[in-house]
Amino acid sequence: MPEFDKYTTPLSSRYASDEMSAIFSLRNRFSTWRKLWLNLAIAEKELGLDIITDGAIESMQKHLEITDEEIAKASAQEAIVRHDVMAHVHTFGETCPEAAAIIHLGATSCYVTDNADLIFLRDAYDILIPKLVNVINRLCKFAMANKDLPVLGWTHFQPAQLTTLGKRATLWIQELLWDLRNFERARNDIGLRGVKGTTGTQASFLALFHGDHNKVEKLDERVVELLGFDTVYPVTGQTYSRKIDIDAFAPLSSFAATAHKMATDIRLLANLKEVEEPFEKSQIGSSAMAYKRNPMRCERVCSLARHLGSLFNDMVQTASVQWFERTLDDSAIRRISLPSGFLTADILLTTLLNISSGLVVYPKVIERRIKSELPFMATENFIMAMVEKGASRQEVHERIRVLSHQAAAVVKEEGGDNDLIERIKKDDFFEPIWTELDSLLDPATFIGRAPQQVEKFVSHDVATALKPYASSIDDTEVKLNV
């Protein structure tokens, strides 16, 4: 069937990076199986299986990367035998005749499929972690650049006390730091299933080594060592416990929430015209409304974050319904969900890299919004200043209340500007503080320790977390595929 006449997932065809797509590609999957068969044979030979010759090992080593022709041949074989692993055993054996008799010796299919999946999970995290580090680093630069810029704070999406734009960014960064911690834990916890046999008892390998338990244990350890892992799960059924997939996906699901929240904030800020995501010179916002600058990058983040968050349920449900040593109803769903999860996380991070590199701030719009709300927030300052001049707090409070309600009516009922300050300036009662009004309305006096919090957070918490990744920091501009 021609390429454009069949469905392809947009995760790989439209959005994901080449390096993440490569991990879950057919070529990498089947080549990894060959690497697993090679290392099993090497370990078995080292432990005394003389039927494995040097020629067999050398032959397998020369053909570790599967060719297009071999993939097609294995696919045709699978259509006959209805078993993907055996199809590739036959194909590898035809390519390496000297090794044909010993490929997959003592192993079950999950030796290659499960160990390969675990390798892919770890390799995928090795792609995600540096990208997350760079998102954090770029947002830190944004936070520091805007640490002193007062902005209107919002609670319930109603005007609240002021904060700074840099301080708001630290709220995103802090959640991303927790995601980094979770990614690291998940990545470092991943071990291998190892060499366990059909139901996890290692019976086939015990037979190969004529009842030598010590050699079977060493075989398990040696294969894992050859594959570059420190940990082998001590007991398994036919598969590694699918609870491992839960542990691997929980950080991705949590990160999805972080990404969605951050992107939603930026979408709201774009509506307020205070902050916008990057907008390219030739970018079109709408096919009909030429003036539009839609936050399509953040919308993409929210859309894909919802998908990523939902995949966690696949892992929980799959792990909970496995019977005894295994059932095959875990297979089809994992073929879809495992690649989908990491491809989606990769896309989210690439998009966040692009967004965090080019956020556009509009200080004049921010200033105008502050001016429209600050008079109400400053009323407590006015009351305290009048009391210092000898006025009664209760009387000042009542006069401020009346004037505030009048100003609010102008804003809400007449669509006018907040004129509370003008009303105070016209009321002789407040004459004692007329000369102090500008200082009492200085936005910088309403932001508390926001700038200092940003500085300490970035210089201490973030710097500590990113220190191990100094060589991974990259300020190169990130372009999206589409």
Q: Looking at 13, 83, 286, 392, which residue is catalytic? A: 286
- How far apart, in Å, are the Cα atoms of 124 and each of 23, 74, 177? 7, 26, 19
Q: Which long-range contacts (CB under 8 A, 24 or more apart) does 260-264 make?
A: 260/301, 260/302, 260/305, 260/306, 260/309, 261/172, 261/175, 262/172, 262/175, 262/301, 262/352, 263/297, 263/298, 263/299, 263/301, 263/302, 263/305, 263/352, 263/355, 264/298, 264/302
Q: Is 460 marked active-site?
A: no
Signed CA dihedral, 20, 238, 241, 193: sign only: negative
Of 301, 317, 223, residue with least CA distance to 267: 301
Q: Are 163 and 450 in contact (CB under 8 A)?
A: yes
**DSSP per-residue codes, 125-153:** HHHHHHHHHHHHHHHHHHHHHTTT-EEEE
**DSSP per-residue codes, 189-235:** H--B--S--SSSS-HHHHHHTTT-HHHHHHHHHHHHHHTT-S-B-S-
Separation between Cα atoms, residue 295 and residue 465, nearest integer Å: 30
Helix (H, G, I), strand (E, B) or coil at 21: helix
Q: Is 104 marked active-site?
A: no
**Token code pair at residue 435:** 């000369």
**Token code pair at residue 211:** 């009842």
Quickly count helices (H) and strands (E) in the chain: 20, 4
Name the burial class of residue 100, with classes exposed (0-12), middle (13-18) and buried (19+) by CB atoms within 10 angstroms of its CB.
middle
**Token code pair at residue 254:** 């949590």
**DSSP per-residue codes, 338-362:** HHHHHHHHHHHHHHHHHHHHS-EE-
Number of neighbours of residue 10 by Cβ within 10 angstroms: 13
Separation between Cα atoms, residue 136 and residue 174, nearest integer Å: 9
Q: Are 377 and 289 in contact (CB under 8 A)?
A: no
Separation between Cα atoms, residue 20 and residue 344, nearest integer Å: 10
Separation between Cα atoms, residue 339 and residue 377, nearest integer Å: 51
Separation between Cα atoms, residue 190 and residue 185, nearest integer Å: 9
Helix pair 331-357, 109-145: axis angle to 10 deg: 20
Q: Which residues are catalytic?
A: 156, 286
